[in-house]
Amino acid sequence: MERTRKIFTYALPIIIVLNGYASGIMGLSIGSIVMNLFNLYALFCFVSNNHKIDSFFTKTALWLISFIILSCFSYIIYGIADIRRIVVSLLKMATWFIGVTFTVKLFFDYTLFKIIYKKFCLFCTLYLFIQMISWNILRFYLPNIFNFGPLKPLYDQYSAESYVNYLSAIGFGRFSSFFAEPAYYGILMIISLVIILFDEYEKEELPSKYKVYAILLILGIWCSTSTASIIFVMFVICAYFYKSNIKDKAIILLLVVVVGMVMLSKGKDNPLTSFFITKVTTMNDSGRVGGSYEELLKLNFLQMLFGVGMSNEAVITDTSYFNAITGIIVEYGIIGFIIFISYLINMYFKSKSCSLHVLMIIYVAAMSQGGYLFNLYGILIFSLIQNIGKSVNNSTQKSIF
Which residue, 104, 123, 223, 111, is CA-closest to 172? 223
How much is the pTM?
0.87
Q: What is the mean pLDDT of the chain?
A: 84
Banded pLDDT at 268 (limits 50, 70, 90): low
Helix then strand then coil, in percent of the chain rounded to 5, is: 70, 0, 25
pLDDT tens-place string over residues 199-213: 765 555 778 888 889
**Proportion of the chain above pLDDT 90, given as a percent:** 40
Label residue 26 left, alpha or beta by phi (over 0 means left) and psi (-120 to 50 means alpha).
left
Q: Which residues contact 57 (CB under 8 A, 6 or more apart)?
A: 101
pLDDT over 80 (residue 46) = yes
Q: Residue 275 above 70 pLDDT? A: no
Pick the more confident residue, 126 or 242. 126
Highest mean pLDDT among 178-192, 264-278, 363-377: 178-192
How far, in Å, CA of 385 to CA of 353, rounded? Answer: 10
69 to each of 184, 308, 331, how far by Cα in Å?
A: 31, 12, 11
Q: What is the mean pLDDT of residues 306-333?
A: 87
Quick: pLDDT tens for 178-229. 998 899 999 999 999 999 888 765 555 778 888 889 989 999 998 888 888 8
Separation between Cα atoms, residue 84 and residue 220, nearest integer Å: 38
372 touches 359 (CB < 8 A): no
Q: Which residues contact 96 (CB under 8 A, 6 or more apart)?
A: 373, 374, 375, 378, 379, 382
Q: Is the pLDDT of residue 260 over 80?
A: no
Kindly tell me if the per-residue pLDDT of 170 is higher than 70. no
Could you list the beta-strand ranges (E) of 26-114: 28-29
pLDDT at residue 396 greater than cutoff 50:
no
**Overall residue count recorded for the chain in this entry:** 401
pLDDT at residue 267 in the model: 55
pLDDT in tens, 286-314: 545 556 777 788 888 999 999 999 998 88
| Straight-line distance from the first to the last Cα atom of the chain, in angstroms, rounded to the nearest whole number | 37
**Axis-axis angle for helices 182-198, 354-367 (nearest 10):** 170
Query: Average pLDDT in the 371-388 region?
Result: 88
**φ, ψ dihedrals at 29, nearest 5°:** -85, 165
* Confidence label for 389 from pLDDT (cuts 50, 70 and 90): low
What does the pLDDT read at residue 368? 84
Name the more confident of 1 and 334: 334
Buried-exposed string 216-228: b where 16+ CB fall within 10 A, e elsewhere: bbbebbbbbbbbb
For residue 160, report the phi and psi dihedrals to the nearest 5 degrees: -60, -45
pLDDT digits (tens, 9 = 90+) for 93-105: 999 999 999 999 9
